[in-house]
Amino acid sequence: MADAARIIIVEDNIPFARAVARGLECDGYVTVLAPSGAELRRIYRSQGADLILLDLGLSGEDGIDLAVELTRTTPVAVIIMTGRDEIVDRIRGLDAGADDYVTKPFAQGELNARIRAVLRRRQPVLAQDTTLRFGPVQLDANTRQVRCDGVADAAELTEMETAMLDHLMRAGGRPVERGALMQRVNWDPTDRAADVHIGHIGHIRRKLSDAGIDVLTIWAVRGRGYRLALRGESDEKEAAEGLDRSDRS
Ligand code: CA
């Protein structure tokens, strides 16, 4: 791999976490340990990660809640670890949007294979080094241009708008909460955030529309944040997901 993938291991059993980390580092991954949800948030906010290996059995907190929070607010891949008898949790974890799970005790080789598979599945999103693709729409983070198959013009975004659209594209159509979007672009979430982010989303919509890129829509999801959709598929899902028509462009 060009860049070593970064994995945060969320596990309160430190000796176990260290053993898992050693096994991952043998395969070239960079690992960070987080013994709690609070540590995970702090580390992810400051360093990011490509994948989070999340133990559901954390002392004093529900790993499922963390899984839901991660899959709703970040684009990061999540593999959950569960105890042998926690079949219900396994199902809840996958329902929460986790990419895969491993059941303890597991062989290190199995875990590494599952991680490779999850990272591989997510890789085709990156068409080239800095280009993200969502359906026919491509965002080049270097040039900050958005292009669409079959459309001659490109939309030029600011750095802030590029970071926001990048985050939404990496979420692959999943909702991204407003707070997560703001953290991503290094805003202070308490600082006039509501007005500011609505303004940026509006600018992105207008620039896409001006360039003739009308296949991509940014939906406001009531109480959740935003998500991307391709025109056509949006209308089918709208009723089921409680999307806010008034905030559509
Ligand atoms: Ca544990």
225/149 same-domain check: yes
Asked if residue 141 belongs to a domain, the reply is yes
Spell out which residues have Cβ within 5 A of ligand 1, the ion: 12-13, 55, 57
- Tell me the range of 120-129, 149-158, 183-192 where mean pLDDT is highest: 149-158
Higher pLDDT, 249 or 218: 218
- Distances in whole angstroms, Cα of residue 215 to Cα of each of 133, 172, 231, 234: 13, 15, 5, 10
Q: Which of 126, 150, 165 is the last residue of a domain?
A: 126
Strand ranges, E, within 6-148: 6-10, 30-34, 51-55, 57-58, 61-62, 77-82, 100-103, 131-134, 137-140, 145-148
Could you give the number of structural domains in the chain? Answer: 2
pLDDT at 85: 63
101/26 same-domain check: yes
Structure tokens at 206: 């207008």
189/150 same-domain check: yes
Alpha carbon of 86 to ligand 1 centroid (Å)? 13
Q: Which helix (H) or strand (E) holds 239?
A: helix 233-241
Rounded mean pLDDT of the chain?
82
Asked if residue 72 belongs to a domain, the reply is yes
For residue 183, the Cα-to-chain-centroid distance in whole angstroms is: 13
Q: What is the CATH number of the domain that holds 210?
A: 1.10.10.10
Q: Which of 126, 157, 176 is the last residue of a domain?
A: 126
Asked if residue 197 belongs to a domain, the reply is yes
Alpha carbon of 211 to ligand 1 centroid (Å)? 51
Higher pLDDT, 18 or 142: 18
119/148 same-domain check: no
Contact 55, 83 (CB under 8 A): no
How much is the average pLDDT of 140-145?
89
Domain extent for 175: 128-248
102/191 same-domain check: no
Asked if residue 19 belongs to a domain, the reply is yes
96/156 same-domain check: no
116/202 same-domain check: no
Alpha carbon of 55 to ligand 1 centroid (Å)? 6
Contact 61, 83 (CB under 8 A): no
Region of poorest pLDDT, from 9-23, 130-144, 149-163, 219-233: 219-233
Alpha carbon of 116 to ligand 1 centroid (Å)? 23
Q: What is the CATH number of the domain that holds 19?
A: 3.40.50.2300
Alpha carbon of 170 to ligand 1 centroid (Å)? 29
Contact 169, 127 (CB under 8 A): no
Higher pLDDT, 239 or 36: 36
pLDDT-derived band at 175, boundaries 50, 70, 90: confident
Asked if residue 45 belongs to a domain, the reply is yes
Contact 144, 193 (CB under 8 A): no
Contact 125, 228 (CB under 8 A): no
68/162 same-domain check: no
Phi, psi torsion values for 228, nearest 5 degrees = -95, 150
pLDDT at 74: 81
State yes or no: pLDDT of 225 exceeds 80: yes
How much is the average pLDDT of 111-130?
76
Alpha carbon of 180 to ligand 1 centroid (Å)? 26
Alpha carbon of 197 to ligand 1 centroid (Å)? 37
119/82 same-domain check: yes
Alpha carbon of 151 to ligand 1 centroid (Å)? 51
pLDDT at 185: 56
**Quick check: pTM over 0.95?**
no
Q: pLDDT (tens digit, 9 = 90+) per residue, 152-161? A: 999 999 888 8
Alpha carbon of 19 to ligand 1 centroid (Å)? 13
Amino acid identity, residue 206?
R
Alpha carbon of 166 to ligand 1 centroid (Å)? 33
Asked if residue 1 belongs to a domain, the reply is no
Alpha carbon of 35 to ligand 1 centroid (Å)? 9
Structure tokens at 58: 């954390």
For residue 224, the Cα-to-chain-centroid distance in whole angstroms is: 14
Q: Which residue in 99, 122, 73, 96 sits closest to 226, CA to CA?
A: 73
Torsion sign, CA atoms 66, 67, 71, 77: positive
Alpha carbon of 13 to ligand 1 centroid (Å)? 5
118/138 same-domain check: no
Placement of tokens 């598979």 in the chain: 117
Q: Which of 102, 126, 150 is the last residue of a domain?
A: 126
How much is the average pLDDT of 181-193?
55
- Residue 219 exposed, middle or buried by CB count within 10 Å (0-12, 13-18, 19+): buried
